[in-house]
Amino acid sequence: MPHKRNPVLTENLTGLARLVRSAVIPALENVALWHERDISHSSVERNICPDATIGLDFALARLSGMMSKLVVYPDRMAANIESLGGVVHSGEVLLALAKAGLSREDAYRIVQRNAMETWTKLGTPEGKTFRQNLDADTEISGRVSADVLDAAMDSRQHLRAIDAQYEKIFGETGPQH
């Protein structure tokens, strides 16, 4: 795909991850007989230990180099999310309906119906956003306030802990949003 950047690097990482994971089964099979330590253990370890550690080292070095050159387009990402008509918020809407007293099964059915209505008519003259479909749904009206739906469909909720996550992982706060 010519429009992608670094597809060879990412595809290579995917393959390397498979190779590193392939060492898990023989390593776990060794655990059952650790107390016996016969030659069957060492023959496996002589192969998987260097292969897995060298493969992992190479993969992490490649990943580090790739991530240091990563270019992110936040405005384009937001536009892509918005182009979906709001259905990306279906999980949060489902939880909001369940918190409002609907059974999870009923909430799922209602949300799925409205999401499918959004998907099937997205970009057509009669198409409505997910929120518009939710607002028009008689099973929702009166059960959940507009403020609750606004909160459920606010993309910022997914970023509320980003600074704490960056601090925990990297020892510094993340990108300002």
Supply the pTM of this predicted model.
0.65
Question: Into how many domains does the chain fold?
Answer: 2
Residue 31 in domain: yes
Residue 165 in domain: no
pLDDT 10s digits, 144-157: 999 999 999 998 88
Evaluate if residue 40 carries a pLDDT over 60: yes
Residue 147 in domain: yes
Does 90 share its domain with 64? no
Does 51 share its domain with 88? no
Tell me which amino acid residue 87 is.
Answer: V
Domain that holds residue 54: 7-68
Does 62 share its domain with 86? no
pLDDT 10s digits, 117-126: 999 999 899 9
- Exposed / middle / buried, residue 87 (Cβ in 10 Å: 0-12, 13-18, 19+): buried
Does 84 share its domain with 63? no
| Cα separation, 149 vs 100, whole angstroms | 11
pLDDT 10s digits, 52-86: 999 999 999 999 998 888 888 989 988 998 899 99
Does 146 share its domain with 108? yes
Does 86 share its domain with 150? yes
Alpha helix positions (H), the chain: 7-21, 24-31, 39-68, 74-82, 90-99, 104-121, 130-136, 146-152, 162-170
